[in-house]
Amino acid sequence: MPKPQERLAITVVPAEHGKRLDRVLRGRFPGWQRADLTRLLSRRQITVNGRPVWLGSWQVSAGDTIIIFRPPAIVPPAPPPVFQQDWLLADQGDLLVVCKPAGLLSQPVRQSPGDRQPPGDDLLSLAQSWFGPDIRLFHRLDRDTSGLCLLTRPGPVNAYLDQAFKSRTVTKEYIALLAGIGGLEERGELRSYLDADPERSDRMAVVPRGGQYAHTEYLLLERGIGQIRIWLQPHTGRTHQLRVQLAAAGAPIIGDRMYGGHRADRLMLHAERIALPSAEDFPARDWTCPAPF
């Protein structure tokens, strides 16, 4: 179980203006128990704009800063026991398009030689149990990222996809909510080199030299109080690319515990669109899975 943080700060967004404090917090953190919230209030461990608040009925305003001291740990939701039919957007024989939920691994993770995650704790295992053992995962998303993934059966589509991804003719678009604006402009590009973080082996970092080139286009879609929504199109596919580049720009994604975003029940990053190019025997194809936030 994750350890609780010492301090958690959130900003009230316009949609929460005028609501009760307890309802805002339960809406933001549905995994918290009612007793957790009661304890925090009774112990004066919640402040609004620096003032301790002990009434759940306290009305908040857009732009208010709420600080929770020693908040309960957020436990990631348990993965579903079976493949959910509403994940499937298209089954075209040798190609399946699915919308992966946040919190679900894309594929089993090897923890040590011969050791894997328990069966069923990832999208690939669930899909193989549902559709058959010949299903393979063609490209993956981070566990905490939701959105479009491609799975395939044996067939010519695998060579077609392999060529399309290698030639970077596959279009991928993401939506994210940011914890701050940092150095971002209304529209721009992020170009940097990424390599393993020398301080943490599970993270990546922007490096001054060496590493792998990473390139991302972006467009700010919404820039209001407590609501910074951004469209992203990566032109390279580096590990944690969008998360690292945005954090380095001073605009981490909300819910990104690894790279410094404000805490939330999930990472606010979603793979919303994927478009495949036309090729011999393969027409151009395009799918969209709207962001759930």
Question: Which domain, by its residues, includes 11?
Answer: 7-69
Predicted local confidence at residue 242, as pLDDT: 98
Token couple for 135: 């299903």
Place of tokens 């059966």: 153
Do 245 and 200 belong together in one domain? yes
Which candidate, 222, 251, 224, places its Cα nearest to that of 62?
224
HSE-up of residue 293 (Cα within 13 Å, Cβ side): 28
In the residue annotation, 142 being an active-site residue is answered as: yes
State the Cα–Cα distance between residues 50 and 69, nearest whole angstrom: 12
* Domain boundary residue, one of 153, 168, 183: 168
Q: Please, what's the largest Cα pairwise distance for the chain?
A: 67
pLDDT digits (tens, 9 = 90+) for 98-154: 999 998 999 987 654 544 445 558 999 999 999 999 999 999 999 999 999 999 999
**What kind and span of H or E run contains 188?**
strand 187-196
The answer as to whether 77 is a domain residue is no
Do 197 and 267 belong together in one domain? yes
pLDDT digits (tens, 9 = 90+) for 21-66: 998 887 777 667 788 889 999 999 999 999 999 999 999 998 899 9
Counting the structural domains of the chain, the total is 3
The residue annotated as part of the active site, out of 22, 121, 142, 256, is 142
pLDDT digits (tens, 9 = 90+) for 177-201: 998 898 999 999 999 999 999 888 8
DSSP 15: G
